[in-house]
């Protein structure tokens, strides 16, 4: 007979199981209801900015049939241009497939800006638009004495003639040309065969790979150091070609092996080999040296992709948060607050045009604030990177990145990292060593950005003198591009503030240039990893800022900050002195006086202004814009020596010159090789010492950062500490802060100012604070999977 207590126990358990089952079913039903409601509510929410367009949010990036005076060449214009050029028998042009060093072919073309006076007349006075023209660079290797020709072709889109580029040499020495596709490929093919045939076994024994027939363990020749005649002592075209192990990323797997090639129009020859810390005259000499010293030469194991991760840009290590949570994102609840029509932008009180110069990089034009032109042109001119080292490949590595055609090295910006996901992405069309136009995608991004920093604020606590808070967020418009020159990535921003200020910023990131570590490199580099060094170098940026303050008859002055030592008549001590600051203004009358080298002993404000502006109410001060260079870096190499003349612009942190159509840029694509006789010699802009009083003035601004690589630069240099900026700031230009007119501000004050404890009123000037919308769905990963050329062909 069963125990009654046992039956009660079993019954209790069944009841407990039933209760648990009911609880689980209830929870499941509740979760389903929540999910359904959430999904339903989500469907009711709109995407942020997805509503009927008002004054802003109009984005039209289509090529116009009537492009502005500043726009890049359109596809139709490039096609018509190339058709015209190939009909000119005197140019003897060949197609891209037949390009050789000793042939004649189009290297590049881009928009040729009209004279400033004709452009201004068209923009301001509705005069006829200047004809659109193209600036074409042709390599004439077919001539008995090869040279480089630069011509202007127009009018576009139906060209009928061409002429030499004005104010420039009609014939540029052929040895100054940038390294070209046909030449580079021919040299590498020659080196691969000659080196591998004679030294392949040696390379495999030492470095675990070879140049040809190497399967998965290959050595490659990619990185180069062009050698200017100012350093070689010969008017010859020479380049050092480095050998690296081909692993991600090859730039951090350098070997103690490089080859100096003398590159003639019809023949490339090996002049020297750097191997194991020594110069050798020929490949056979290297082989003999290796045979005699085999036991003492360090062997370098080929990288194992599974274990040697120092150079790979992939996640590793313990994550700071796991599982990962998504980063904060910024949304525009009312949609984009700017318009883009082709390449013309309107934003709040700002408007401007922009383009990508093939040879110089990003440029903006006709920059206006509150309908008044602040600058006719602001743009990058060149980027210089001067290295140092024991080996010739580093000691002679004085790079000027215009040689790489910066405009063609900017593409493939990635939403969510390079730019906010809701940015507007803009491409461009260029021609470089090809028969027709090539479209580059995601070259620029344009976005509005809340910096998280107040533009202004004050919180007054005092009961007796008024209690209130007033502040305004800093929201800016950013036009960004990122230029990739082999290993370095340069982020270039043009930033527009609501108070009429402009910031231009350059940030360096990417891979450091690795070199094989030896003890003789200790003056130039730390040891970063096994056999890896990365030598000290100086990044320098040249920018042009053609300011037009209340017209183009301007002056340049410095406000000099000094000290004065006075008897302190306010002290009871008769011997007391009062030492304080004062300032005085100095008008710069000539270009030499207006060329500024920073001196901490004599701090200054740099002002460009319109004299005697009588439109001000009662103030006698001239309307000015201040040039503030916060990215100053002194170039300490001796002037006039080595390759320094190619960067004579870097002698000055700011130099102000009279505008000339004959001085459009501070540098050229030939600067890396032309130091003995620069095609564009910036110092000449100053040496003619013209008047800069009541003239159309241009400011040439140099920024820079010294970089001594360290282990935290591996695998990729991070951006903190690598940014430089200059600002153009209104200075007595407005009667008060022009941003005070913005409704995107807040004012908080007590309802009863006479009571200690009282309610407050918050004035947000009608700007809604709450919103219910969803960020736009991120489909970028899907898009690049469908069109990988956005990234992989960059």
Just list the catalytic residues.
401, 488
Contact 511, 707 (CB under 8 A): no
SS3 sequence of 384-424: EEEECCCCHHHHCCEEEHHHHCHHHHECCCCECCCECCCCE
**d(Cα 429, Cα 436) in Å, to the nearest integer?**
10
**d(Cα 526, Cα 523) in Å, to the nearest integer?**
8
The angle subtended at Cα 550 by Cα 548 and Cα 552, nearest 5°, is: 40
**d(Cα 310, Cα 314) in Å, to the nearest integer?**
9
Helix (H, G, I), strand (E, B) or coil at 45: coil
Contact 544, 665 (CB under 8 A): yes
Contact 294, 697 (CB under 8 A): no
Contact 459, 367 (CB under 8 A): no
CB-based burial of residue 573 (10 Å sphere; 0-12 exposed, 13-18 middle, 19+ buried)? exposed
**d(Cα 115, Cα 151) in Å, to the nearest integer?**
16
**d(Cα 364, Cα 379) in Å, to the nearest integer?**
6
Q: Which of 616, 498, 627, 609 is nearest to 550 (CA)?
A: 609
**d(Cα 521, Cα 388) in Å, to the nearest integer?**
10
Whether the CA torsion 80, 81, 87, 93 is positive or negative: it is negative
Helix (H, G, I), strand (E, B) or coil at 766: coil
Helix (H, G, I), strand (E, B) or coil at 741: helix
Contact 474, 497 (CB under 8 A): yes
**d(Cα 38, Cα 139) in Å, to the nearest integer?**
65
**d(Cα 240, Cα 671) in Å, to the nearest integer?**
17
Q: Which of 605, 621, 690, 622 is nearest to 656 (CA)?
A: 690
């Amino acid at each position: 007979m069963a125990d009654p207590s046992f039956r009660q126990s079993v019954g209790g358990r069944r009841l407990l199981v039933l209760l648990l089952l009911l609880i689980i079913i209830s929870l499941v039903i509740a979760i389903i209801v929540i999910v359904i409601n959430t999904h339903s509510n989500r469907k009711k929410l709109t995407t942020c900015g997805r509503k009927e367009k008002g004054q802003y949010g109009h984005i039209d990036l289509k090529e116009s049939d009537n492009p502005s005076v500043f726009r890049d060449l359109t596809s139709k214009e490039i096609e018509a241009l190339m058709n015209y050029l190939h009909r000119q028998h005197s140019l003897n042009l060949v197609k891209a497939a037949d390009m050789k060093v000793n042939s004649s072919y189009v290297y590049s073309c881009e928009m040729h800006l009209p004279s400033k006076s004709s452009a201004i007349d068209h923009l301001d006075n509705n005069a006829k638009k200047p004809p659109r023209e193209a600036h074409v660079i042709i390599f004439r290797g077919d001539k008995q004495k090869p040279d480089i020709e630069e011509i202007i072709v127009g009018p576009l889109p139906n060209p009928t003639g061409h002429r030499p580029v004005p104010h420039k040499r009609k014939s540029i020495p052929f040895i100054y040309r940038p390294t070209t596709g046909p030449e580079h490929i021919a040299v590498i093919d020659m080196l691969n065969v000659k080196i591998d045939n004679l030294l392949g076994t040696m390379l495999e024994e030492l470095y675990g790979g070879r140049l040809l027939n190497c399967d998965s363990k290959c050595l490659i020749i990619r990185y180069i150091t062009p050698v200017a005649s100012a350093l070689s002592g010969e008017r010859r075209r020479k380049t050092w070609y480095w050998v690296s192990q081909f692993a991600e990323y090859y730039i951090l797997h350098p070997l103690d092996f490089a080859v100096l090639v003398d590159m003639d129009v019809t023949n490339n020859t090996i002049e020297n080999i750097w191997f194991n810390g020594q110069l050798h005259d020929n490949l056979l000499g290297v082989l003999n040296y290796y045979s005699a010293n085999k036991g003492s030469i360090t062997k370098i194991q080929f990288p194992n992709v599974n274990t040697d991760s120092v150079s790979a840009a992939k996640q590793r290590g313990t994550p700071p948060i796991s599982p990962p949570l998504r980063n904060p994102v910024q949304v525009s609840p009312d949609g984009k607050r700017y318009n883009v029509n082709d390449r013309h932008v309107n934003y709040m009180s700002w408007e401007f045009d922009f383009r990508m110069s093939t040879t110089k990089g990003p440029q903006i034009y006709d920059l206006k604030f509150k309908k008044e032109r602040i600058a006719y042109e602001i743009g990058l001119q060149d980027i210089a990177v001067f290295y140092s080292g024991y080996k010739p490949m580093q000691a002679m590595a004085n790079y000027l990145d215009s040689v790489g055609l910066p405009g063609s090295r900017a593409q493939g910006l990635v939403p969510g990292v390079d730019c906010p996901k809701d940015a507007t992405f803009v491409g461009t069309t260029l021609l470089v060593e090809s028969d027709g136009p090539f479209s580059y995608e995601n070259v620029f991004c344009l976005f509005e950005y809340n910096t998280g920093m107040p533009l202004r604020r004050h919180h007054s606590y005092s009961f007796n003198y008024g209690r209130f808070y007033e502040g305004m967020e800093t929201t800016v418009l950013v036009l960004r591009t990122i230029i990739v020159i082999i290993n370095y990535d340069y982020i270039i921003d043009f930033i527009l503030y609501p108070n009429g200020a402009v910031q231009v910023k350059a940030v360096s990131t990417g891979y450091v240039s690795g070199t094989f570590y030896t003890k003789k490199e200790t003056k130039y580099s730390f040891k970063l990893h096994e056999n890896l060094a990365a030598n000290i170098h100086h990044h320098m940026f040249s920018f042009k800022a053609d300011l037009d303050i209340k017209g183009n008859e301007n002056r340049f002055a410095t406000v000099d900050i000094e000290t004065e030592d006075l008897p302190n008549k306010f002290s009871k001590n008769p011997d007391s002195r009062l030492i304080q600051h004062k300032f005085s203004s100095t008008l710069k009358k000539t270009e030499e006086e207006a060329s500024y080298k920073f001196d901490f002993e004599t701090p200054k404000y740099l002002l460009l202004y319109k004299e005697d502006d009588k439109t001000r109410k009662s103030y006698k001060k001239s309307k000015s814009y201040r040039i503030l260079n916060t990215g100053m870096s002194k170039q300490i190499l001796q002037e006039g020596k080595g390759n320094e003349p190619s960067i004579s612009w870097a002698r000055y942190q700011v130099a102000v010159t009279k505008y000339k159509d004959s001085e459009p840029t501070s540098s050229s694509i030939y600067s890396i090789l032309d130091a003995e006789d620069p095609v564009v010699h910036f110092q000449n802009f100053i040496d003619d010492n013209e008047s800069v009083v009541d003239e159309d003035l241009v400011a040439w601004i140099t920024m820079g950062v010294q970089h001594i690589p360290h282990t935290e630069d591996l695998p990729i240099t991070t951006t903190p500490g690598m940014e430089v900026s200059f600002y153009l700031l209104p200075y007595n230009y407005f009667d008060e802060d022009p941003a005070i007119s913005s409704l995107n501000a807040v004012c908080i004050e007590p309802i009863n100012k006479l009571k200690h404890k009282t309610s407050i009123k918050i004035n947000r000037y009608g700007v809604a604070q709450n919103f219910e919308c969803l960020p736009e769905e991120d489909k970028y990963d899907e898009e690049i999977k469908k069109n990988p050329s956005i990234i992989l062909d960059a």
